[in-house]
Each structure stands twice: as structure tokens, then as C-alpha cells.
Amino acid sequence: MNLIMNNTDIRFPNLGIVFENLGNGISIGGFSLKYYGIIIGIGMILAILLVEWMAKRTGQNPDDYIDLAFFAIIIGIVGARLYYVAFNFDNFKGNLLSILNLRTGGLAIYGGAIFGVTTAYIYCKKKKMNLPLVFDTGILGLLVGQIIGRWGNFFNREVFGCYTNSLFAMQIDVTDAPYDFQCSVADLQARYVNQPQILSKIMEVRENAVVIDGATYLQVHPTFLYESFFNLLILIFLILYTKHKKFNGEIFFGYGLFYGALRFVLEGMRTDRLFIKGTPIAVSQLFSAIICIASFIAIVVGRVRQAKKEFAASAQKVKEKLEAEEILGRKPVDKEN
């Protein structure tokens, strides 16, 4: 087994951390396997384990989730790839077979979530399972996959943000960066002629590049790190909140609320956003806003409905109690002979 080396460093200058000659995979018997794929696999395993634990904790059958995970993960990966390719087709049209090469990255979480949730919906309908409860349980597994999976972006030197000199600023070798950071300024301007806001962010990163020991480094926001950390906080909160939820489906919508808000903010930092063709609208930011708002509305409506049910049930109990007391309090009427 040999390490596949990039021969480049990843640096966090303001933290004093340097990963020298960081590898991006391993080679076994001539077959190369990127860390990206290994990390995704680890994330899937941990996600299944957490879902099994949550199923037991909430009185469900864990075995039901093993079968569901098998279908949801496979179809979710396909959906994540199709979503990514759909909005980056120019990068694949010259070599369509490269669409099948997942080892180099290129998965969009929203595509995976849409296909995965659809699969879960169909599965639950066929198995006659409580769909909202399944969503509450399964969404926590998705979060685990996101927390772990984002570190695959670290090894791939991707999913980073715009220029920053903050405490967590990350430096990567320009030779590991996408085409936008290596092409000529003229090519870059032509490519983003209708998207000046993106051109401005890319140029800011390029103009603030630093040279260390003869190598040029881009200094950027490690948005993958931010997302992984805040997703961990969301996961912890949702697990703790499970016992306090008012209706099945509330955990699922809680994920949509918090993750939608987080993703909206992080997408604003990115320079490699997917855009609706011919518009300056970032696809992920639009979806994030819609998901966040829709989830908030769903939570409010769900809690109001539950409150009404609890109030009605409480009122009925009071009514029944008063009626019982009234019956017990009546005196028998003497009848004349």
C-alpha cells in the first residue's frame, strides 16, 4: 500500500498549523483510492450506526432502517452526482465517462437529499411505516454523513470560500485549485462576463495569493470546516431535542431550518457556486432560503396544530370530570307511593 501524494501543503497560518506533503489517497496493487471516497464510506457507516441507535431509543425496529439505508444511500449518491453534473455540464460534455468518476469529488448535498428523501418516502409507503417518524430518525444519519463527508473536501482541496485573513484562514497551493484560479485573467473575465460578483471574489483571492518557499498559495475561508463544525452542533441539539418534540416530523423540519440557514450563509462565502443559467442567482442559496423558510412555517403550523389537539383533549377531560362530579352529586328523588 502506497500513499498518493500531492506534494503540496495545506496551511493554517494564523493557527500555526501546516500539513506538509499531504496525500489525497492510497494505492493498493495499482488501484488508487482517494481519501474522499474512504471518508464518504466512513460517514455512511457512522450514519447507519447512529440511525440504528436512534431507532432503538425511540422504540422502532432498527432492521427497517438497514434496508432503507441501502436504497437511500445508493440513490442519494446518484442524485448528488446528477445535481452536480446538471449545473456543471460544461466540465463534463467533453468526456461523458468522467461523470462516473466519483473519486475526484463532485457531489451536491441537495441532490442527494432530494433523491434520498424521495426514496425514503416510497419505501415507507410500501412498508406502511410512520413516514414523519422515519424522517425524524433518518435525517440525523444524513447529518452525520455531512459532518464526516466534508473532510473529503479538505483532502480534495475543494469547497473553499473567498479570501480571508481570519483566525481560520486556510492556504492551499494554487496548483491544487480549480481552473478559475490558474487561467489567464482574460479567460476568467470572459467566463464570468455576466457574473461580476463572482469574478470580483475570484480576483480578490488571486490578488491576495502569497508565495512561500517558491510555491504560490491561495488564502481562503475553509467553508468545509465551518459546515462540518456547525452541523455537529445541529446534530447534538436535534438529538437532545428529540425527547421534547411536539410532533413527528419536527426534527426533520428542524434540520431544514438550521441547515438551510447555515448553508445560505456559507454559500455566500463560496467562489464555486452553481448558478441558475443566465442569472446571478446561486442555486444552493435559493434552495437554502426556500428550505429554511418552508421548514420554519412547517414547525409553526405543526406546533399550533399539536397545541390545539392538546387543548381540545384537556378540555374534554375537564368536561368529562365535571359531568362525572355532577352525576355523583345528584340526590335521588323520592317517589310518592
Question: Would you state the pLDDT for residue 334?
Answer: 56
Could you give phi then psi for residue 195, rounded to 5 degrees? Answer: -135, 70
pLDDT at 278: 66
How high is the pLDDT of residue 209? 95
CA 94 to chain centre: 30
For 201-216, letters b (16+ CB in 10 Å) and e give bbbebbeeeeeeeeeb
Q: What is the pLDDT of residue 216?
A: 95
Residue 4: predicted pLDDT: 61
Q: Tell me the CB-side half-sphere exposure of residue 99, using CA atoms within 13 A.
A: 19
Cα separation, 290 vs 256, in Å, equals 9
The C-alpha atoms of residue 145 and residue 143 are separated, in whole angstroms, by: 5
C-alpha cell at 34: 482517494
pLDDT by residue for the chain (337 residues), tens only, comes to 555 656 789 999 999 999 998 888 887 777 778 888 889 889 989 999 999 999 999 888 888 888 888 888 888 888 888 877 776 676 677 767 767 766 555 677 778 878 888 888 898 888 888 989 999 999 999 899 899 989 988 988 888 999 999 999 999 999 998 888 999 999 988 888 877 878 888 999 999 999 999 999 999 999 999 999 999 999 999 999 999 999 999 999 999 999 999 999 998 888 866 676 666 677 788 889 999 999 999 999 999 999 999 889 888 888 888 888 778 766 555 555 4
CA angle 236/241/246 to nearest 5° reads 155
CA distance 182 to 138: 41
Residues 186 and 116: their CA atoms lie apart, in Å, by: 41
pLDDT score at 313: 87
- Choose among 179, 218, 185: nearest CA to 199: 185
List the chain domain ranges.
2-272+281-315
